[in-house]
Structure 1
Amino acid sequence: MKKTLLILGCISLAIASCGNPGSTTEGSTTAASTDTETTVKAQTPSEMLPGEKLIATADCIGCHNKTQKVIGPAYVDIAAKYPSSEENINKLADVVIAGSKGTWGDLPMTPHPNLSKEDAKQMVTWILSLKK
């Protein structure tokens, strides 16, 4: 008797976990694809500012995040520390290209020697525009 109740309970749980009998797996996949496409469209590089596009295509995301410290500081923290001036933009662009150590802790920032000065300036300009 206990075995029968256990088996019936397992079968009931299996049937209940199958979900809505009117939905299909294909419909769920299509809905998920549409949601993903919408998310991707909302974040397309064509809607980003030039510096933001460059950051999105570079390796910056490995160490930085817009709002939270990862390995390096968050972009908003950088913007809070440095006023947006031509002097700071040039200085920070040089830091992006040459790398640095000690400004935000003991871990060094990796140099990006293949990045042009103009691209680095666009990236820094976007970062400094995040000042609250």
Structure 2
Amino acid sequence: MLEVNWLAIVLAALAGFVVGGIWYGPVMGKKWMGAVGLTEEQVKDGKMGMIYGGAFLFSLVASWTLAHTFASYASYGAELSVFAKVMTAFGAALGFIVPAIGTNYLFSQKGKTLFFIDAGYWLLFYIAMGLVHAYMP
């Protein structure tokens, strides 16, 4: 079994969560609400405990997967630099997450604005997680 740094996993998930709070709050919040067709009242009326709790659990899964990936590389003797870890995280988002949401948005006929807002978030989310995992191996 590969050893992972559980504190780094939690902190990286939190870092991604903080990025989301900033991105979908003051940076892109109003544009995002317009792109998904929600009002501030509708957002506030949502089941925030379930939404935030579920989102954090998904963030933990993503962070654990990234930690496991780095531990797998290390088990074969690879010593990745901070830059390599951040670029690996960014590449995972750019190569897997962005195309997946892009495909979903094409078939659900969502607008380009929503795609770019969400794609930008996921790129930043994974960069933040990559930084935490890079500095807390």
Q: TM-score range by the shorter chain?
A: 0.3 to 0.5
Structure-2-length-normalised TM-score: 0.32
Structure-1-length-normalised TM-score: 0.33
The structure that has the greater radius of gyration is 1
Higher relative contact order (CA 8 A, sep 6+): 2
**Structure holding more helix per residue:** 2
